[in-house]
Chains A and B, each alone.
Chain A
């Protein structure tokens, strides 16, 4: 046995186990975070499925023949369908029929459908009938195109009953009210997935990393034994706090700028990587943020980082050393991770009001919500989010100012004594 190994091992173990903050962190994350995430994801898949099943399917019958009636009857057996006749897809959009029927997609049975079916049935296997599926691109959430796949499933079921591959589907996508013929919503969704995952992951990494750094700012003064001296010089204690915060604003600014550059580059390389035969051009389709969108996203990110950093600096004032401070800040991580991971799979707009409000109330999910909103051109949500985070940050800073600005900093900490351990000056 390695000499001294056991002695060191036992001592390290004792120190770790006796630090309740570390132990709690080790238990809270896996035992609470994962079950919650599991619930969120299960719920997400469930609602998406339910919505797809509940959704009404609008059928535009431009054929009028017998086979079209058979086809509609078949569709109607598995989905609620509403039938309109003799409208071009453009007219469907113009008359706003989708919204009126609470639907996100429609099937057009083009003229000649029945004739082609009859041809095929009479032995001319080369002739196939076609239906045109038009789906509204919703932009976000891994499960958001389940609706489209339900139609596909029903059509292939129909084929199995009648004849293999008799009905072909052409997919088109409606993006921002315009029909993009031949663009499959599933292809688009998988392209947008990259963005759906990349933004939350980056936000999580940036927030946790910069909060760790900010958390050390006050704790470091304690560890290096400089805080006592600083607290006895004639300087406003609120100024100490604000000074530390201001330096983290610079960090937040640089980080946001770097992220926007990286994000732009990523989207740029997605568009160039798309095989040209798919003829999907995100820029042309309006699925890349505009300059204004980039700007808003950047501001949203900056404000969120700032609010996280402010909270971290303030929390670190309550820890006695760097290790304690980082452990304390770790308690915020589940609040960052749960919405970030949930929003990878969910479209915030499809969530029930309570969860939607909760996610919106967590400042750290704002850039993720914003990244989806700017792509869809929904600037109101983004601006509202920025204002909300700004207010949140001001409230946090105000709370800190109550604690630090007056001479009460010490008395306030004495009040915390039971909860937070010893006071700042007394901890050494």
Chain B
């Protein structure tokens, strides 16, 4: 199976802070891969380098064989990125926002229409899509943005804490959609999360990140067995040395 993402010895230095200290992992095509780790571990920084927003200090990242530094505009054609903290244009309606974003990746008017109809279904916002996004609640906005990230059926969806701010039901709904998308459209997903339950349920493989390094990597079931733990939280605590 070919590799969707190859991350090799990735280092990112912000002044004196070494945010990433040689991160290495691979993601196979069609896989849901989870990055987990405590606050400040370097998850967001890793995702931002992969989605061409910031440049690595050293190391290399390839997305479907494309280099994120030298072939950034090619990479942007095959990915979609959902930032951890993102917003929509406050004075556009949900529909207008989706249409605005769809036009960048889709050529014909019919394709744009199909794309935003799909997004409308994913978001589950119904009639509220006609309202300006500044009237949305935090969770509604997040659903709109998740829908935006998936609607174009990218080859790789990079989702930074996709379910953050969502209630239990909507988080469940979003997880179902991600799973379905991978199955139906062959989308590869790279996500970060704090929610171990979510990660266990969704991810084929996970990487535990701590202080800018991958400390352990593997399938959730195998990791639990290996560390003789009931859940990933326990695995994590054992690896990092709290337990």
List A residues at the B interface (Cβ < 8 Å). 224-226, 228-229, 231-236, 407, 410-411, 414, 423, 425-426, 428
Chain B contacts of A407 at CB under 8 A? 70, 72-73
Q: Which of B95-115 contact A (CB under 8 A)?
A: 101, 104-105
* Contact yes or no, A224 B90, CB < 8 A: yes
Chain B contacts of A226 at CB under 8 A? 86-89
Chain B interface category by residue count: 20 to 34
Additional A-B contact list (8), CB under 8 Å, known A226-B89, A407-B70, A425-B53: A224-B90, A225-B85, A228-B53, A232-B79, A233-B101, A236-B73, A425-B48, A426-B14
Cα(A425)–Cα(B56), bound, Å: 13
Nearest first, the 3 A-B pairs at minimum CB distance are A225-B87, A232-B81, A425-B53
**Residue among A233, A411, A426 with most chain B CB within 10 A:** A233
Query: Given the interface contacts A224-B87, A224-B89, does A229 sit within 8 Å of B81 by beta carbon?
Result: yes
Contact with A along B171-187 (1 / 0, CB 8 A): 00000000000000000
- Pairs A–B under 8 Å by Cβ, sample size 25: A224-B87, A225-B83, A225-B85, A225-B87, A226-B87, A228-B81, A228-B86, A229-B81, A229-B86, A229-B148, A231-B53, A232-B76, A232-B79, A233-B76, A233-B104, A234-B73, A234-B77, A407-B70, A407-B72, A410-B53, A410-B55, A411-B55, A423-B54, A425-B53, A428-B85
Q: Which of B12-53 contact A (CB under 8 A)?
A: 14, 48, 51-53
A206 to chain B, nearest CB (A): 24
Cα(A410)–Cα(B145), bound, Å: 25
Chain A contacts of B14 at CB under 8 A? 426
Is B80 located at the chain interface by the 8 A CB criterion? yes
Chain A contacts of B77 at CB under 8 A? 234
Chain A contacts of B76 at CB under 8 A? 232-234
Chain A contacts of B82 at CB under 8 A? 229
Chain A contacts of B55 at CB under 8 A? 410-411, 414
B91 to chain A, nearest CB (A): 10
Query: Given the interface contacts A224-B87, A225-B86, A229-B86, does A426 sit within 8 Å of B81 by beta carbon?
Result: no
Cα(A11)–Cα(B77), bound, Å: 45
Chain A contacts of B80 at CB under 8 A? 232-233
Query: Nearest B residue to A410 by beta-carbon distance?
Result: B55
A240 to chain B, nearest CB (A): 10
Cα(A233)–Cα(B154), bound, Å: 11
**Residue among A225, A234, A407 with most chain B CB within 10 A:** A234
List B residues at the A interface (Cβ < 8 Å). 14, 48, 51-55, 70, 72-73, 76-77, 79-83, 85-90, 101, 104-105, 145, 148
- Report the number of A-B residue pairs with Cβ-Cβ less than 8 Å: 60
Cα(A233)–Cα(B152), bound, Å: 11
A238 to chain B, nearest CB (A): 11
Chain A contacts of B101 at CB under 8 A? 229, 233
* Contact yes or no, A232 B53, CB < 8 A: yes
Query: Given the interface contacts A226-B86, A228-B86, A425-B48, does A234 sit within 8 Å of B104 by beta carbon?
Result: yes
Query: Given the interface contacts A411-B55, A425-B48, A425-B53, does A235 sit within 8 Å of B87 by beta carbon?
Result: no
Chain A contacts of B70 at CB under 8 A? 407
B126 to chain A, nearest CB (A): 23
Chain B contacts of A410 at CB under 8 A? 53-55
Query: Nearest A residue to B82 by beta-carbon distance?
Result: A229
Cα(A411)–Cα(B69), bound, Å: 10
Query: Given the interface contacts A229-B86, A232-B81, A233-B105, does A426 sit within 8 Å of B54 by beta carbon?
Result: yes
Query: Nearest A residue to B74 by beta-carbon distance?
Result: A234
Query: Nearest A residue to B148 by beta-carbon distance?
Result: A229
From the candidates A228, A233, A234, A236, name the one contacting B83 in the complex (CB within 8 A): A228
Cα(A234)–Cα(B105), bound, Å: 6
Chain A contacts of B81 at CB under 8 A? 228-229, 232
A424 to chain B, nearest CB (A): 9
Chain B contacts of A224 at CB under 8 A? 87-90
Chain B contacts of A426 at CB under 8 A? 14, 54
Query: Nearest A residue to B88 by beta-carbon distance?
Result: A226
A302 to chain B, nearest CB (A): 27
Query: Nearest A residue to B133 by beta-carbon distance?
Result: A224
Cα(A226)–Cα(B87), bound, Å: 5
Cα(A411)–Cα(B70), bound, Å: 11
* Contact yes or no, B89 A229, CB < 8 A: no
**Residue among A232, A236, A411 with most chain B CB within 10 A:** A232
**Residue among B52, B53, B90 with most chain A CB within 10 A:** B53
Query: Nearest B residue to A428 by beta-carbon distance?
Result: B85
**Residue among B48, B51, B55, B148 with most chain A CB within 10 A:** B55
Chain A contacts of B48 at CB under 8 A? 228, 425
B234 to chain A, nearest CB (A): 33
Cα(A162)–Cα(B83), bound, Å: 91
Cα(A229)–Cα(B160), bound, Å: 12
Chain B contacts of A414 at CB under 8 A? 55
* Contact yes or no, B85 A232, CB < 8 A: no
* Contact yes or no, A232 B104, CB < 8 A: no
Query: Nearest A residue to B83 by beta-carbon distance?
Result: A228
Cα(A423)–Cα(B12), bound, Å: 14
Cα(A228)–Cα(B86), bound, Å: 8
Cα(A66)–Cα(B79), bound, Å: 100
* Contact yes or no, B89 A232, CB < 8 A: no
B130 to chain A, nearest CB (A): 20
**Residue among A225, A228, A428 with most chain B CB within 10 A:** A228
A207 to chain B, nearest CB (A): 25
